Amino acid sequence: MFYDYVDCGAWTESTYRANSEDLARIRLRQRVGIDISQRNLSTRMVGEAVTMPVALAPTGLAGMQWADGEILAARAAERFGVPFALSTVSVCSIEDVAAHTSRPFWFQLYMMKDRAFMQRLIARARDANCSALVLTLDLQVQGQRHKDIKNGLSTPPKPTLRNLANLATKPRWCLNMLGTKRRTFRNIVGHVEGVEDVSSLAHWVAGQFDQTLSWEDVRWVRRLWDRKLILKGILDPEDARIAATTGADAIVVSNHGGRQLDGAASSISMLPAVAEAAGEQVEVLFDGGIRSGQDVLRALALGAKGVLIGRAFLYGLGAMGEAGVTACLDIIRKELDVTMALCGITDVAEARRALLEARAPAQPEPRLARHA
List, by residue number, the catalytic residues: 256
CB 221 within 8 A of CB 135: yes
Q: Which pairs count as long-range contacts for 214-220, CB under 8 Å and 24+ apart, including other chains?
A: 215/242, 215/246, 217/111, 218/135, 218/137, 218/243, 218/246, 218/248, 219/246, 219/247
Cite the beta strand spans of 201-289 per DSSP E.
228-234, 250-253, 283-287
Distance CA 151, CA 372 (A): 39
- Given a contact cutoff of 8 angstroms between Cβ atoms, the answer to whether 332 and 340 are in contact is no
Beta strands 228-234 and 85-86: pairing type?
Answer: unpaired
Contacts of 87 (CB under 8 A, 6+ apart): 58, 59, 60, 62, 70, 108
Phi-psi region of 347 (alpha: psi -120 to 50; beta: other; left: phi over 0): beta
How far, in Å, CA of 274 to CA of 370, rounded?
Answer: 13
Kind of pairing, strands 48-50 and 43-45?
Answer: antiparallel
Contact residues for 130 (Cβ-Cβ < 8 A; gap 6+)? 86, 94, 104, 105, 106, 107, 227
Residue 4: CA count within 13 A, CB half-sphere: 14
Q: Evaluate the omega torsion of the peptide bond into residue 361 and state whether it is cis, within 30 degrees of 0.
A: no
Going by their DSSP bridges, the two strands 54-56 and 250-253 should be labelled as: unpaired
Beta-bridge partners for 40: 347
Query: Is 308 strand, coil or helix?
Result: strand
